[in-house]
Amino acid sequence: MSLIAIENVVAGYGGAPILNGVNIAIEQSDIGVIVGPNGAGKSTTLKAVFGLLKVSAGSIRFSGEEITNSLPDRLVPMGLSYVPQEKNVFTSLTVEENLEMGAFTRKDDFASTMNWVYDMFPVLREKRRQPAGELSGGQRQMVAMGRALMSQPRLLMLDEPSAGLSPRYVLEIFEQIVKVNKAGVAILMVEQNARQALALASKGFVLAGGQNRFTGTGAELLADPEVAKSFLGGESAA
């Protein structure tokens, strides 16, 4: 049984569906990466899982439990967490308050989790009392991820975590993602930076037109000349 199983999901915003039968499954130890051209439905897949748009066909199961069209306040306690691409921090709240909001659904003492997040992103500990809106792009991304980790998720979903970041921060974010995964959190992320992301992926999914095109491990996809030609723009990376 996969940690999360997205089966033949059809979903959209009301008009024509954007997802036309998407299949994605990953395990607890995986780093899953979804890539593809613009409009392929990558971000939409994550939003569909998190109940942010209506799934009209297919099913989504988390540890075997049906979660199709469930709302976030049920999903977060179950162990899912989501970082949107934009507007992903509370700009008027301090860094620490942002993290506290991530732990809203927890009933226990979350101080140790907060320490773990601060250990992972030391600059946040420094700036804990600063409003998140005053931080740089890269630091904000850290706050966003930290917030999502505060609920101790089993699955962390990230929508283009490297978007708009300078190369140095991109590297750092990807390093942290690997660290988080090693600490036992499954990752499912959408990325535009296809090559770099697939390099860390244990499972890669190439989507186009709301459907799966290629599936495999990150290395396999990078080595595949078809994938390279259609989606990675040129010769294979291997």
Residue numbers at the binding site for other proteins (CB under 8 A):
50, 52, 71-73, 75-77, 82, 84, 87-93, 97, 100-102, 104-105, 147-148, 151
What is the closest distance, in whole angstroms, from the C-beta atom of residue 97 to other proteins in the complex? 6
Q: Which is nearer to other proteins, 20 or 45 (CB)?
A: 45
Q: Virtual CA dihedral for 159, 163, 166, 168, nearest 10 degrees?
A: 20
Closer Cβ to other proteins, 51 or 218, answer by number:
51
Shorter beta-carbon distance to other proteins: residue 104 or 182: 104
DSSP 8-state secondary structure symbol assigned to residue 131: B
Task: Enter the tokens of residue 71.
Answer: 């709302």
Smallest separation, CB 167 to other proteins (Å):
27
- Quote the least distance from Cβ 93 to other proteins, whole Å: 6
Question: Toward other proteins, which CB reaches closer, 149 or 222?
Answer: 149
Task: Give Cα separations from 85 to 15, 48, 56, 233 (angstroms).
Answer: 23, 15, 24, 23
Picking from 35, 34, 68, the residue whose alpha carbon sits closest to that of residue 51 is 68
Least gap, CB of 196 to other proteins (angstroms): 25
How far apart CA 224 and CA 99 sit, in angstroms, is 40
Locate 99 and state its tokens. Answer: 């993290």
